[in-house]
């Protein structure tokens, strides 16, 4: 498994864990994780993205989606914040 694939797998598993462990009072976290899971799945499946680091590809994908998705500013901020936290953890090998 290459670094791109390993990073994609760690990100996907972290997001999946967050989505499934979110309690009823954490609906926003569940939504943010599910939103990011969709992006992670698409990027991981795309061989063309493998030349860029996974986290860079995720950030590009998120920004492109924000340009067309009709999300609230609060949702966008929550999604970005969650991705930044996960990206930092993945960068430390967690």
pLDDT tens digits, residue range 36-49? 999 999 998 886 55
71 against 1, higher pLDDT:
71
Per DSSP, the residues of 26-71 read GHHHHHHHHHHHHHHHHHHH-GGGGGS-HHHHHHHHHHHHHHHS--
Q: Would you say 82 and 36 are in contact if contact means Cβ atoms under 8 Å apart?
A: yes
Question: Does position 94 have pLDDT exceeding 50, yes or no?
Answer: no
Q: Would you say 40 and 11 are in contact if contact means Cβ atoms under 8 Å apart?
A: yes
- pLDDT, position 48: 54
Give the CA diameter of the chain: 39
Question: Does position 79 have pLDDT exceeding 80, yes or no?
Answer: yes
When pLDDT is averaged across residues 8-13 and rounded to a whole number, the result is 92
pLDDT tens digits, residue range 46-72? 865 566 788 889 999 999 999 999 999
């Amino acid at each position: 498994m290459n670094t791109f694939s390993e990073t994609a797998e760690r990100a996907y598993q972290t997001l999946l864990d967050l989505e499934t462990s979110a309690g009823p009072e954490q609906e926003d976290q569940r939504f943010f994780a599910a939103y990011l899971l969709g992006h992670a799945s698409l990027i991981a499946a795309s061989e063309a993205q493998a030349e860029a680091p996974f986290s860079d590809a995720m950030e590009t994908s998120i920004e492109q989606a924000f340009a067309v998705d009709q999300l609230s500013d609060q949702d966008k901020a929550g999604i970005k914040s969650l991705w930044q936290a996960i990206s930092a953890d993945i960068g430390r090998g967690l």
